[in-house]
Structure 1
Amino acid sequence: MEITTIGIDLAKNVFQVHGVNKHGKVVLRKQLRREQIATFFANLHPCLIGMEACGSAHYWARKLQALGHTVKLMAPQFVKPYVKSNKNDAADAEAICEAVSRPSMRFVPVKNIEQQSVLSLHRVRQGFVKARTAQANQIRGLLGEFGIVVPQGIAYITQRVPELIEDASNALPGSFRLLINRLLEHLELLHRQVDEIEAVIKTWHRDNEASQRLEKVPGIGPLTATALVATIGDARNFDNGRQLAAWLGLVPRQHSSGGKQNLLGMSKRGDAYLRTMLIHGARSVIYRATQKADPNNWVFKITARRNKNVAAVALANKMARTVWALLVHDRSFQPGYAPRAA
């Protein structure tokens, strides 16, 4: 009987495969090793293949799409309810096969190689930024143990600590001075790594027309623009801008029942990195708007009514919807744009 739908439980070496026919009858339960995957699916008629969006999922999706199959990725939390009993590889593959055939299932767009490459730069840069912050905090903490307090802000570390180390009046041991010098060298290395990766990202940004259009939106710079373009891919995967904002977790959580609407804080679903960058960009726009104090400015009016944190999330939501419109309609940003009446 011809297989129409397959669920694959991905792993490093051993993959579990579960297949059904058009009547939903199980016709395939099989374990495959990594090197057997391409050969096995090359000999199958094109079918629908479901996988969880996890490590290497986008690679295998592209690989199987090249063989003529239709591949759909799903968030693991949407697959979990279909696991019938105890968790094991066979049960997971069966649940994936069941979930991918549901008409109401939400799917993750498959990323191409260029998207993954740019996002890798962002992830590595983010790791270096975290390591740089941790290193600066360690230097500040060690100096604090000797009664030397450095003001907050990473810039003060590089400005003031070398002078403190050279100051003979603070009675610091020689071995400790050498240790702080070594940590300062490591901090400077992390600075260079961040700057070099940012330069590569900005080079890609200058060569990408969509990223340059997004940069015109207030609160979005080259880093946020490149991350948005690489993560979203084809914005037509979303029906409207509200779906994109919800996908980024910039909408309220709900706990509603009996017709009574109860809205909570941010859902925080989706990509935390993108959401953070959009909110930080919104904070910068709010800061400028409060300085100008224009009573006709939408941002200034919402900050007058709401807490600044709430206003920042609201503005980030609006920015996400603007991004969707620019990408889908292939437009450039126009301040004060008003949609044409129907």
Structure 2
Amino acid sequence: MEYFAGLDVSMEETHVCVVDRNGAVVYETKAISSARLIAEALEGAPPCTRVVFETGRMAPMLFHGLTELGVPIVCIESRQAYQALKTLTTHKTDRNDARGLAQLARTGFYKAVHVKSLPAHAVRALIIARKKLVGQRVTLENQIRGLAVVFGVRLPRGLSPAFVDEVVRMSDGITGLAGAMRGLVAARDAVLGAVAAIDADMKRLVRASEACRRLMTIPGVGQITALAFTAAVDDPARFRRSRDLGAYLGLVPRRYQSGEIDYVGSISKVGDKRMRSLLYEAANVMLTRYKGALKLKDWALAIARRSTMRKARIALARRLAIIMHAMLRHGTEFRPA
């Protein structure tokens, strides 16, 4: 007899349900949400052919931890599971969700997803932290600029050397304003120091990664884009075709077809939003700043002449994703010709 398990995971505890081939519940329990304790809870049930749980914040830690412990764990798409669970249960409880996930494991009616490695998540955390810090820097500079405008002073660019000097000069001697400006400038300097430290870490990671160095041979692709792409792809072999990267990153048109209706809209924008933005920026740099001869650039400019520059950038971003995946998969460098 085959047995299947479903795990409904929360931050504190996980509900475990095991069913047999006929769908009858044979074992239920709860465990603290850690890989070791969940594996111990499953030892009290018959050996399971498949154990299913949904994507979420704790998915990487639990998936890799349970895999190392020999549990046949499968991570499934939470949006698909949500729609299926609504049809299986009337009342949404953690216990019923675990039962529903066990039934999905039994029937195979689910879409398994790839769980990225923990090093890939670490690189992604570094990129997200840098983006957040840069946003805080811009917010602080805009606040300083807004306070200065009240006193009729227009400050230079935030990253120019004269920015801080001009702030100190214009606020000197004004009670209240000087203290406010000193506090904001000190916070800005701290954020700039944190960004510089992250940039140094990124530079070390790029130097240690042959894949990133190959990707950076593409005009417009810098160290952040290269790191983000290798972390997003994680394992190039999991994509059967390089052209699948366009759909994975939400860079293909959304389509709706039903009967006589056949509608093709804008891009789907699913997947990693940050990676999609970086590819769009790389495409823009290639089209507007790169001065060398490049067939890829000529191809995108031909699209711009037929349509719009925005659509040309999106098409080029999709093509860049395909080329970058092929380079990772085959270990090749970019050849402009």
TM-score scaled by length of structure 1? 0.86
* Alpha-carbon shift at residue 192 of structure 1 (Å): 1.5
Q: Answer yes or no: is the 8 Å Cα contact 1:293–1:300 preserved in 2.
A: no
94-103 vs 217-226, which deviates more?
Answer: 94-103
Secondary structure at 1:149 match in 2 = coil
Q: Answer yes or no: is the 8 Å Cα contact 2:29–2:41 preserved in 1.
A: no
Deviations 1:271-308 (A, max 9, x none): 11111111111111111368979998212222222222
Residue from 115, 122, 129 that aligns with 1:117: 122
4+ aligned runs moved over 6 Å, structure 1: 290-296
The one-letter code matched in structure 2 to 1:67 is L
Q: Distance in 1 between matches of 2:336 and 2:291?
A: 18
* Alpha-carbon shift at residue 2 of structure 1 (Å): 4.8
- Residue 29 (structure 2) pairs with residue 30 (structure 1): yes
Q: Number of matched residues?
A: 331
The unaligned stretches of length 5 or more in structure 1 are 337-342
Q: Answer yes or no: is the 8 Å Cα contact 2:215–2:327 preserved in 1.
A: yes
Secondary structure at 1:253 match in 2 = strand
Structure 1 residue aligned with 2:81: 79
The 1:86–1:334 alpha-carbon spacing in structure 2 relative to 1, beyond 3 Å, is: farther
Q: Distance in 1 between matches of 2:154 and 2:82?
A: 50
Secondary structure at 1:155 match in 2 = coil
Structure 1 residue aligned with 2:56: 54
Q: Answer yes or no: is the 8 Å Cα contact 2:252–2:268 preserved in 1.
A: yes
Structure 1 residue aligned with 2:165: 162
Residue from 110, 113, 118 that aligns with 1:108: 113
Structure 2 residue aligned with 1:20: 19
Q: Distance in 2 between matches of 1:165 and 1:75?
A: 53
* Alpha-carbon shift at residue 205 of structure 1 (Å): 1.3
Q: Distance in 2 between matches of 1:225 and 1:219?
A: 10
Deviations 1:190-236 (A, max 9, x none): 11211210111121111112222222223321111111112211122
Q: Distance in 1 between matches of 2:273 and 2:51?
A: 28
Structure 2 residue aligned with 1:150: 155
> What are the within-5 Å matches in structure 2 for residues 194-213 of structure 1?
194-213=195-214
Residue from 66, 69, 85 that aligns with 2:68: 66
Secondary structure at 2:41 match in 1 = helix
The unaligned stretches of length 5 or more in structure 2 are none
The 1:187–1:7 alpha-carbon spacing in structure 2 relative to 1, beyond 3 Å, is: same
Structure 2 residue aligned with 1:8: 7
Identity rate, percent? 27
The 1:238–1:60 alpha-carbon spacing in structure 2 relative to 1, beyond 3 Å, is: same
The one-letter code matched in structure 2 to 1:155 is L
Secondary structure at 1:59 match in 2 = helix
The one-letter code matched in structure 2 to 1:14 is E
Secondary structure at 1:331 match in 2 = coil
The one-letter code matched in structure 2 to 1:48 is R
Secondary structure at 1:310 match in 2 = helix
Secondary structure at 2:29 match in 1 = strand
> What are the within-5 Å matches in structure 2 for residues 94-243 of structure 1?
94-100=99-105, 105-150=110-155, 153-155=157-159, 159-167=162-170, 173-243=174-244
CA RMSD of aligned residues (A): 2.7
